Homo-oligomer: A and B are copies of this chain.
Amino acid sequence: LTAGPGRALRVRYRLTPEPGVDPVARARHLAREQTVECPEGIAPEAEERALAAVEEIAARDDGSFDVTLAFPLEVTGGDLLQLVNVLWGNVSLQSDVRLERIDWPRALLDRFAGPAFGVEGVRRLCGSAPGRPLLATALKPLGSSPRELARRAAEAALGGVDLIKDDHGLGDQEWAPFRERVLTVAEHVARANRASGGATLYAPNLTGPVDRLPERLETVAEAGLRAALVAPMLLGLDTVRALAATSGLALIAHPAFAGSLVTGPGATGHALPPGVLFGDLFRLAGADAVVFPHAGGRFPFALDDCRDLERHLTAPLGALRGALPVFAGGIDAARLEQVIPLYGADVVYLIGGSLFLQPDVRAAASELARRVRRVPPRSAP
């Protein structure tokens, strides 16, 4: 990661300086804040090594500016958290700036393993042919017993759902302690798979306490499971990276707690576009699939955000495997057919609450699975 030509991390920020603030001076402050974090004159040699360069400032019609900073690669030290800190550390505390896009240099990408399974690996785990979207559901609600959850999971599996993930609120509550819940649900899903000849994948939720993760991973292995749900902004992005590298599990990332960070037409965050946080960064951290609320549901994201996320997760990014967007948050049977033609085949549609509301969950799941297999996804561009 030695500095040198073509070995910089280029990041574009959107700057809206307060009235009277010189945008060039503000851009230089930004470069300083995110690297040497000190006034000029303390250590000229260190600044020569580590200070980001202001490469471009372009005025926009709305009075804001597009500012491109070039960071010497070595400021990250090859560490994911220091990378995030360089991108959005101190300036997260300033209200006149947000991050727009990152040009990833190959030398930096090559420091990260990314998804251990990726799109093809997840398909393999749940026995899906390429060329069609996957169908997922969320096991709920919190407050249910392991048996109740297992019964619901088995119905969904018998109906042909590809992937069942725990609701991200399921932890180690007394109503359904982690070990008992995971073993019971896994057993019922395995039995359903044997009965149907299917390969529904069950992904239990891995959350805190972090010092119990090793014990939880043992339970997951004991249950014969190959996937887990994680919430990177709760668990910590680098804990997810470490899990991706060592657990042998396909990881489905959940956006809990992360919403306040993302920008977008209906969002109020001022940090990062959904494609950068849930796309670039989650993929770099090793998420094999990323849950995101689809437009038109009960979350304020736009269709463009969803398309952008699909692109960030599936487009080439160094040697990193692609990851699957998991569109959720209010997709039901009625909307499924309208949504499928908008995306390519490497997408997961998650139908949660509305599925378990049906009197015959198995039949309803089966009908959803048929639709996902029948409606042609958008053909490759």
Contact = CB atoms under 8 A, between A and B. Distances in A.
Interface in A244-264: 245-246, 255-262
A342 B79 CA distance: 39
Interface stretch (A56-64, A90-98, A310-318, A370-378): A90-98
A235 to B, nearest CB: 6
A36 B140 contact: yes
Interface residues of A, number: 95
A187 interface: no
A37 B175 contact: no
B79 A260 contact: no
Contacts of A169: 35-37, 75, 82, 85-86, 89
B85 A256 contact: yes
A2 to B, nearest CB: 8
A82 B140 CA distance: 15
Contacts of A19: none
Given A81-B234, A236-B236, A92 B354 contact: no
Contacts of A300: 93-95
A99 B187 CA distance: 39
B29 A298 contact: yes
A3 B75 CA distance: 49
Q: Max chain B CB contacts within 10 Å: which of A75, A82, A235? A: A82
Q: Chain A interface secondary structure, helix, strand, loop or mixed?
A: loop
A82 B46 CA distance: 42
Contacts of A270: 260, 268-269
Contacts of A46: 141-144, 148, 175
Interface string A297-316: 01111000000000000000
Interface in A293-352: 293, 298-301, 329, 352
A120 interface: no
Contact of A85 (B42, B51, B175, B234): B234
Which 7 pairs of residues, A with B, have the shortest CB-CB distance?
A236-B236, A50-B143, A93-B259, A46-B143, A92-B259, A36-B141, A81-B208
Interface of A: 1-2, 29, 33, 35-39, 41-43, 45-51, 74-82, 84-86, 88-95, 138, 140-144, 148, 167-169, 171-175, 207-211, 231, 234-239, 241-242, 245-246, 255-262, 266-271, 293, 298-301, 329, 352-354, 356-357
